Structure 1
Amino acid sequence: SKESRRKMAQGIKAGLDKYGLKLLKGHTHPDSSYEAIDAAVVGIARCVAKGNTARPGDNIVMAIDLDGSFGVKGWVKCFDSTLKKGSSELGMMIESIVTAVESGMIKASRDISAPGILGSLAMLCEASSVGAEVDAERIPRPEGTAISEWFTSYPAMGFIFASNEESLVTKLRDAGFSASVVGKFDGTKKICVRLGSDRKTFMDLSTESVFGIH
């Protein structure tokens, strides 16, 4: 609809202004049954943290911006922490990741997106042919939010890193993230989650696939 296109254009402009980006081109889909917008990013990086380079023994570091609140965006339970922040604050948070990658502190990286925290971790594990052992109580989460609810949420600024640098957590916290070492990658191809004395297998990537390639 015309109103939806107007809102999309307003949102795009607000995002470009906030993150200091430029829009090259785009198009709508004439046959879509729903109103949506997709995006791709093109840029130049001095160093890249790939999503398939986690190795057994690497620490699992999660960094999430918890300075926000829950909202609903379509079918995604979104925890928004960017809307009320200015360009300089967001820029400092993003720059902390860029400099960590460039200095070799981060070996592999994955943003936390629609599959949620464990689903996004499973994507990183599957691409890297590794498993993971995670302590659920160490995962940064908003105060008063149940772990089960947080697992199905989409934090606006959330990342999973493979790293063995002890100073990475401090660097990310100094930039405004809530960050912790939440476990280790291993060679089992299983994503196992511990909560207190309980331990369960979330996925066995030797028989299951996030990407649907089995």
Structure 2
Amino acid sequence: MPLTELLSQVRDASGLLQKQEIQRVQRHLKQAYPNPFPNGDDAAVIPHGDHFDLLAGEGFMDQFVAADPWFAGWCGIMVNVSDIAAMGGTPVAVVNALWGGDDEVTDAILQGMSEASRVFQVPIVGGHTNLRSQQPHLSVSILGRCRRVLSSFAAQAGQSLIAVVDLRGEFRAPFLNWNAATEAPPQRLRGDLALFSAIAESQLASAAKDISQAGILGTCVMLMESAGVGMDIELEAIPKPAGVAWQDWLCAFPSFGYLLTAEQKNCETLLQMFHHRDIHGAVIGSLNTSGRCCVSAGNDQGLFWDLTATALTGLTANSDVSDKGASRYA
């Protein structure tokens, strides 16, 4: 398949275009009481004494909850823990909001959440329950904590772009969720996530972002928008499981998948930290000032997204909250 056709199909098939709906939310958020840190990271950053509190939340598609309720409950914990890790933090506790009516489905959701809570050692401390709903709905929020922050807003032109993905898994049908977690040893999962707080503390990377439903390239665009940068990406450098088509992989939501930006001198050290834990990682590109996400494969080149022409989420750093750049996160 020609590269331009692949990029077009991924742009349409992934969850990327849904991210544009955030622009409507952002227009209203501008009227809310201000926070000294910009909105748009995987978790909100809240200064608290000598550390930062991190606050995040996830809502789940109704069809996903209905089709695979146990895994939806598991993911309620896992994806929130991943968001906290991407910020360089450690999880503290979660709360959930659950609507259900079918006893079997509701029990499966709660069983999945409870098991993931034990695996990741994160307590479920409260929430909201309504078991008289016509169909199941689930959302989960998390509190985390860190001393140094990895933030999309701290990425800078001239840095290298790294992708790290746990390829020891498989797709969990019927969705493109790459599951490398539910059968993995709990201690290994916790140790993998702990890498990010160590990276933040040692300042080996500036930015990190959990690969979301927007896919690998879509998540790149979200990071670009926050930082006000562009990217040149080498497609074939992206870690990918053998036998999986590029179109599926670029639309996939991996259970452990992250982007990081770092100075070139730190890349080898960063990659070795993941390789020592059998996690695949590679430098897949570089950051520039273009505002464009360009992808190359051999001699072919294609444009995936141009932020100078089309905004995605609208979540960019305003001058009144980002004037100190990365130093705000130190």
TM bucket by the smaller chain? over 0.9
Higher normalized contact order (CA 8 Å, seq sep 6+, divided by chain length): 1
User: Counterparts in 2 of 1:1-214, with a 5 A limit?
Assistant: 1-28=102-129, 34-72=135-173, 76-164=175-263, 165-166=266-267, 167-212=269-314
Q: Distance in 2 between matches of 1:32 and 1:124?
A: 37
**Deviation for aligned residue 1:187:** 0.4
Q: Which runs of 4+ in 1 moved over 4 A?
A: 28-34
CA contact (8 A) 1:96 1:175 kept: no
Q: Is there any run of 5+ residues in structure 2 with no aligned partner, and where?
A: 1-101, 317-330
- Identify the structure with the greater helix proportion: 2
* Contact 1:93–1:176 (Cα < 8 Å) also in 2: no
Alignment check: 8 A CA contact 1:63 1:159 kept: yes
Are the counterparts in 1 of residues 239 and 281 from structure 2 also a CA contact under 8 Å? yes
> In structure 2, how many angstroms separate the alpha carbons of the residues matched to 1:168 and 1:47?
17
Give, in angstroms, the shift of residue 97 of structure 1: 1.9
Q: Which amino acid in 1 is paired with 2:282?
A: S
- Secondary structure of the residue aligned to 1:142 is coil
After the TM superposition, which of the residue ranges 93-102 and 14-23 deviates more from structure 2? 93-102
- Give the TM-score, by structure 2 length: 0.61
| TM-superposed deviation, 1:29 | 6.5
Figure out how many residues of one structure are paired with residues of the other and give that number. 212
Is the deviation greater in 44-53 or in 119-128?
44-53
- Give the alignment's Cα RMSD to 1 decimal: 1.9
Question: For 2:135 and 2:257, how far apart are their aligned partners in 1?
Answer: 27
Give the percent of matched residue pairs that are identical in Structure 1 and Structure 2. 25
Q: Shift of the alpha carbon at 1:53? A: 1.3
User: Within 2, Cα distance between the matches of 1:91 and 1:24?
Assistant: 20
- The alpha-carbon deviation at position 30 of structure 1 amounts to 8.1
Post-superposition Cα deviations, 1:143-181, rounded to whole Å, max 9, x if no partner, equal 111212211111110000011213101111112310000
Structure whose CA Rg is larger = 2
Q: Deviations over 1:23-78 (max 9, x none)?
A: 111224689775332222102212110122111011000000000011126xx410
The 1:184–1:5 alpha-carbon spacing in structure 2 relative to 1, beyond 3 Å, is: same
TM-score (norm 1): 0.93
